[in-house]
Amino acid sequence: MASNAVVQSAEVEPDRSLAGVSVRTVLALGSAGELGLVRRLVDVSAGTVFCGVAGAGGELWFVIEGTGRLDCGDQVGLEFGPDFGLLVPPGLEYRLVSDPGAGVRLDVVALPGSAAMSESRSPLVRELADCAVETTGDRRFRVLFGPGADCSVATQFVGEIPPGRAPAHSHPYDETVLVLEGGGVLHLGGERFPLTAGTCTHLPPGGPHCLENTGSSMLRVLGVFHPADSPASKLPSAS
């Protein structure tokens, strides 16, 4: 589906909208016939069931809002809420039930099938509040999964960007960023793209870019990149 540098998720038509579940593919990367990172936003209505099977490379989930329970592999009745991250191993069946009071919005990033995630019969679960705060310049981030945090093939993190603009930089990996809160501008390839809650971006390896917070409060983003590395890793600036 979407392969643009910037996608407004609200403008993407659902791939599936049936029985209270809406699935939107907001980013699908790949080259030479090989599928890369695929990012989907899943909306599950209150009291509704969402079922499926994790992709061949495994999946990284993040609960944006809502509460419910998850049966997945050997894990039964797992209760979850906002800011929960989950690493779902390849091929595991899952059954998510949202609580009756409100729906669930879920970010699901399927990893490439070539990713060498170890097989397991249970998902790994992490609460953002339990993850250490790290800094790069004036920006803060917490890694949910990544090298040294139970996932050697990809990284999932939540970052906070204060008002202002940092110098342009680039990374050695494919990065996809979803804006959770706040607003700003993405500077990429000599262009400016508006950022609001729900905007999804693709930052290719080696592509100089900058996320500018043009508001008065924190710009909060959810990032996933592959191969795994630290959000603080940057390529040397061109001389």
Question: Would 11-126 and 129-226 be classified into the same CATH topology?
Answer: yes
Is pLDDT above 80 for 151?
A: yes
pLDDT of residue 2: 41
Residue scoring higher pLDDT (235 or 164):
164
Measured between alpha carbons, how far is 57 from 118 in angstroms, rounded to an integer? Answer: 10
Query: In this prediction, what percent of the chain has a pLDDT beyond 70?
Result: 92
- Determine the average pLDDT of the residues in 124-145: 94
Residue scoring higher pLDDT (82 or 206):
82
pLDDT of residue 114: 66
Measured between alpha carbons, how far is 44 from 17 in angstroms, rounded to an integer? Answer: 10
CATH number of 11-126: 2.60.120.10
**Which residue ranges make up each domain of the chain?**
11-126, 129-226
* Contact of 122 with 74, CB cutoff 8 Å: yes
Question: pLDDT tens digit string along 93-128?
Answer: 999 999 999 999 999 999 987 666 767 889 999 999
Q: Which CATH number fits domain 129-226: 3.10.450.50, 3.30.590.10, 3.30.70.1560, 2.60.120.10?
A: 2.60.120.10
3-state secondary structure the chain: CCCCCEEEHHHCCCCEEECCEEEEEEEEEEECCEEEEEEEEEEECCCCEEEEECCCCCEEEEEEECCEEEEECCEEEEEECCCEEEEECCCCEEEEEECCCCCEEEEEEECCCCCCCCCCCCCEEEEHHHCCCEEECCEEEEEEEECCEECCCCEEEEEEECCECCCCECCCCEEEEEEEECCEEEEECCEEEEECCCEEEEECCCCCEEEEECCCCCEEEEEEEECCCCCCCCCCCCC
Measured between alpha carbons, how far is 165 from 168 in angstroms, rounded to an integer? Answer: 9
Is pLDDT above 80 for 234?
A: no
